[in-house]
Amino acid sequence: MDVILGIDTSNYRTSLCLVDTEGKIVAEEKQLLSVEAGERGLQQSEALFQHVKRLPTLARKMAVEGQRLAAVAVSRSPRPVAGSYMPVFLAGEMAAEMLAHFTQIPLYYTSHQEGHIAAGECTTDTPLVADEFLAVHLSGGTSELLACKRTADGYEIECIGETNDLHAGQLIDRVGVALGLPFPAGPYLEQLAAKTDEHPETEAFSVPSSVSGYSFSFSGPEAALMRAVKQEVSPPLIARAAEKCIAATLEKVLRRAAENGFPRDMLIVGGVSANRYIKERLVKRLVHPAVKARLYFADPAYAGDNAFGVARIGLARWKREKADRGFYL
């Protein structure tokens, strides 16, 4: 059986994924990078070192019996734009290039962001059939509003709005660590915020969102949330306020984009998109007769960093090249 290997080595996770010619996952392994308690991330050198150590370990865990590696795809940059670069992606790129050279199989390059979009498209509850759509990429390293168009090699992407300072994931991680939560803090902060649902009588606390056009800022909300931590405001209220700020920010930006003629098909990807409260609030506010947006969310298991989308992009390119040579699968 022919399979395609996807490799992604991001700031947060080492990921490998094998898909068959139908795009179904045959085997996958992914592991978060280790961050010491109290720290808010890793230096690139340390993250790169961890990837180099973990890639062969994860590979050995994947079953390959009866499979023939037909191609390999790898994310080698954060975004598909000139000058986009992070050292962590060198680990995956090096492994992919050596593997492709010694086995004489095709090698396909893509970006971490395109991998997120592809994984999102492949795991939504409802198929996203539009060839042009908006995507929101929310993570610890990216917070962007993207105008996307499908192409033969992946996506044509134009960034039409982004954060002016902190990323959404950074806001959650910084507030979470300040509250004593592990890093990355997303799932733990969500659990903490959910405690406010158990006590609806608790006095509400919120911080304002900051939006200008399609761009936004999270430094002001971070400062307000950090003051609340020092003032010993209830941790669940602080956690919910962080979620509510991100949701309100996205609502304003996406509503404005829809009103100004951008596609109303909107795909939300990245680790922050797995947050249940943010998802439910956006659906309530935007899937509404006044806005008529169609929202699509990546499966929570593939909202964060993963190699599934990278493998699917590699599969699409491999199939196209086979078809160009007269081979049809």
pLDDT by residue (tens digit) across 101-149? Answer: 999 999 999 999 999 999 999 999 999 999 999 999 999 989 999 999 9
Any domain includes 329: no
- 143/284 same-domain check: yes
Nearest to 89 by CA among 305, 313, 314: 305
Alpha-carbon span 246 to 279, nearest angstrom: 11
Alpha-carbon span 243 to 195, nearest angstrom: 13
Alpha-carbon span 242 to 160, nearest angstrom: 24
- 67/148 same-domain check: no
Residue range 249-297, pLDDT digits in tens: 999 999 999 999 999 999 999 999 999 999 999 999 999 888 999 999 9
Q: How many CA atoms lie within 13 A of 317 on its CB side?
A: 24
Any domain includes 105: yes
- Count how many domains the chain has: 2
| 204: DSSP letter | P
**pLDDT value, residue 290:** 85
Any domain includes 240: yes
% of the chain at pLDDT higher than 70: 98
- 174/314 same-domain check: no
Q: Is the pTM of this model over 0.75?
A: yes
Element (H, E) at 265: strand 265-269
Alpha-carbon span 112 to 106, nearest angstrom: 19
pLDDT > 80? residue 199: no
**pLDDT value, residue 127:** 93
User: Binning pLDDT at 50, 70 and 90, where does residue 329 land?
Assistant: low
- 187/257 same-domain check: yes
- 50/198 same-domain check: no
% of the chain at pLDDT higher than 90: 87
Alpha-carbon span 244 to 281, nearest angstrom: 8
- 35/176 same-domain check: no
- 217/286 same-domain check: yes
Q: Which domain holds residue 180?
A: 126-297
Any domain includes 284: yes
- 109/221 same-domain check: no
Q: Reduce the DSSP state of residue 213 to 3 states and report it.
A: coil
- 107/256 same-domain check: no
Any domain includes 270: yes
Q: Reduce the DSSP state of residue 286 to 3 states and report it.
A: helix
- Would you say 134 and 257 are in contact if contact means Cβ atoms under 8 Å apart? yes
Nearest to 179 by CA among 245, 244, 228: 228
- 138/265 same-domain check: yes
- 197/241 same-domain check: yes
Any domain includes 197: yes
Any domain includes 175: yes
CB-count burial class (<10 Å; 0-12, 13-18, 19+) for 66: exposed
For position 261, which CATH number holds? 3.30.420.40
- 240/289 same-domain check: yes
pLDDT > 70? residue 244: yes
End-to-end CA distance of the chain: 12
